[in-house]
Amino acid sequence: MASLQQDDIRRARDETPGCAGLTHFNNAGAALQPALVTETVIAHLRAESLSGGYEAAADAGDRLDGVYTSLATLLGAEHDDIAITDSATRSWQAIFYALNFEAGDKILTCRSEYASNAISYLQIARRTGAIVEVVDDDESGQLDVADLRRRVDDRVKLITTTHVPTQGGLINPAEKIGEVASEAGIPFLLDACQSVGQLDLDVRRIKCDALSGTGRKYLRGPRGTGFLYVHPRLRERLEPAVLDLHSAVWTAPGEYRVDPTARRFELWESSVAGTLGLGAAVDYALAWGLDSIEERVIALGARLRTALRDVDGVTVHDQGERQCGIVTFSVDGVGAADVKQRLAKAKITTTVASRESAQYDFTARNLPDLVRASVHYYNTDDEIAQLTSELEKR
């Protein structure tokens, strides 16, 4: 692994137009795109305007297929294990809603679970009588693998967790969770929405059956892009809840055949420009090296936590044995939304992590809404100092 040097960071910032105008600490929401990604999207939109959408897509056929190869390389997967969608949520739902749950079946999830996923569990529980069980945290605040193992029995039909939660700064122990699921023969669905692009992932090492991700966060791709990894052992068991003429073939008036690859979870219509932009973002990340990116992001996150703890009246609320580039904190006597607004006036972008996005966790820890600052490899120590300086102006 080659560590990113100051010359690398300067080049990354030069290749990111947004770095010139603001300090961007909302990378877990949507990171700043490299100019290359933006130009890739615009170039294809121009091609569509000149030759037509179908024709431009046909001309880009090899490049579109290459996006699957790039995503497979990113995740340690095979080309046919990848589907491309319009969001991480759509990817995740494509697996979850293809599973068949009955009364008494159990879904095991984590306390740090995200709202969209939790709402899906509750909907299926209402429809079918399935049971949602939230696995305890360990003393560090991450999912307790020992408690997960204790809960596994014949009624568990799915183990599902968020790898990097929207709040709390932790990295859940995905590889250990994968070991438990693999030993028990239970499908393991991993939400990697906020880990892909900041951590060096390998689905073979994690042993997940499916993994969902997005383009707009740490991969620095366009909005409206997502992807899904599905191992053959799971996808061969599942027929998607929704099919069309792309995910299946109408073979006779009364028959159809589902695509054998992960593309069975795609639909015909999509943003070709967005997909090409996603591919450009993945290739850009691969060129830097995900191990180098992970090292830089985790180190910056640690430095930001240390700096925030030195500010009077600021409390950092992060937990977990391993911590990432997402940092959540509160300021005594000032609401999170007000802190965000004040920082925005200084051209420092953050966001708010709210109770509504993480009810299990916020309720258990009795937390208010928190300010979330998420760093990426193009951020600098000077920007961290700028953030803490603004917080000290009270």
User: How far is the C-alpha of 83 from the C-alpha of 85, rounded, in Å?
Assistant: 7
In this structure, the chain runs to a length of 394
Say if residue 394's pLDDT is above 80: no
Mean pLDDT taken over the chain: 97
Is residue 96 within 8 Å of residue 199, measured between CB atoms? no
* Cα 375–chain centre separation: 15
Say if residue 168's pLDDT is above 80: yes
Say if residue 8's pLDDT is above 90: yes
pLDDT of residue 61: 97
Q: Is residue 141 helix, strand or coil?
A: coil
* Cα 358–chain centre separation: 15
User: How far is the C-alpha of 186 from the C-alpha of 152, rounded, in Å?
Assistant: 9
Is residue 55 within 8 Å of residue 182, measured between CB atoms? no
Q: Which residues fall within 8 angstroms of residue 88, CB to CB, at 6 or more apart?
A: 191, 192, 193, 212, 213, 214, 226
Helices (H), the chain: 6-14, 35-51, 53-59, 61-75, 88-96, 115-128, 145-151, 174-184, 203-206, 232-235, 272-288, 290-309, 336-345, 359-365, 381-391
Select from 163, 176, 233, 175 the least CA-distant residue to 204.
Answer: 175
Select from 134, 195, 190, 201 the least CA-distant residue to 162.
Answer: 190
pLDDT of residue 377: 98
pLDDT, tens digit, 9 for 90 and up, residues 368-388? 999 999 999 999 999 999 999
Identify the band that residue 127 occupies on the pLDDT scale cut at 50, 70 and 90.
Answer: very high
Say if residue 1's pLDDT is above 90: no
User: How far is the C-alpha of 178 from the C-alpha of 187, rounded, in Å?
Assistant: 9
pLDDT of residue 2: 83
Select from 317, 321, 324 the least CA-distant residue to 302.
Answer: 324
Q: Is residue 247 helix, strand or coil?
A: coil
Kindly compute the dihedral angle of the four CA atoms of residues 281, 282, 287, 290, in this order, to the nearest 10 degrees: 120
Structural domains for the chain: 6-32+290-391 (3.90.1150.10), 39-287 (3.40.640.10)
Q: Among residues of the chain, what percentage have pLDDT more than 90?
A: 99
Identify the band that residue 323 occupies on the pLDDT scale cut at 50, 70 and 90.
Answer: very high
Q: Which amino acid is at 391?
A: L
User: How far is the C-alpha of 392 from the C-alpha of 347, rounded, in Å?
Assistant: 16
Say if residue 273's pLDDT is above 80: yes
pLDDT, tens digit, 9 for 90 and up, residues 175-230? 999 999 999 999 999 999 999 999 999 999 999 999 999 999 999 999 999 999 99
The predicted model gives 36-65 an average pLDDT of: 98
Q: Residue 7: how many CA atoms within 13 Å on its side-chain side? A: 1
Q: Which amino acid is at 296?
A: R
Say if residue 57's pLDDT is above 80: yes
Q: Which residues fall within 8 angstroms of residue 353, CB to CB, at 6 or more apart?
A: 166, 167, 328, 336, 369, 370, 371, 372
Q: Among residues of the chain, what percentage have pLDDT more than 70?
A: 100
The predicted model gives 364-369 an average pLDDT of: 96
pLDDT of residue 227: 98
Task: State the pairing for strand pair 314-316/351-353.
Answer: unpaired
Identify the band that residue 121 occupies on the pLDDT scale cut at 50, 70 and 90.
Answer: very high
The predicted model gives 77-99 an average pLDDT of: 98
pLDDT of residue 251: 98
User: How far is the C-alpha of 171 from the C-alpha of 322, rounded, in Å?
Assistant: 5
User: How far is the C-alpha of 30 from the C-alpha of 24, rounded, in Å?
Assistant: 10
pLDDT, tens digit, 9 for 90 and up, residues 346-356? 999 999 999 99
User: How far is the C-alpha of 135 from the C-alpha of 211, rounded, in Å?
Assistant: 20
The predicted model gives 241-266 an average pLDDT of: 97
Say if residue 138's pLDDT is above 90: yes
Kindly compute the dihedral angle of the four CA atoms of residues 50, 54, 57, 62, in this order, to the nearest 10 degrees: -130
User: How far is the C-alpha of 367 from the C-alpha of 377, rounded, in Å?
Assistant: 29
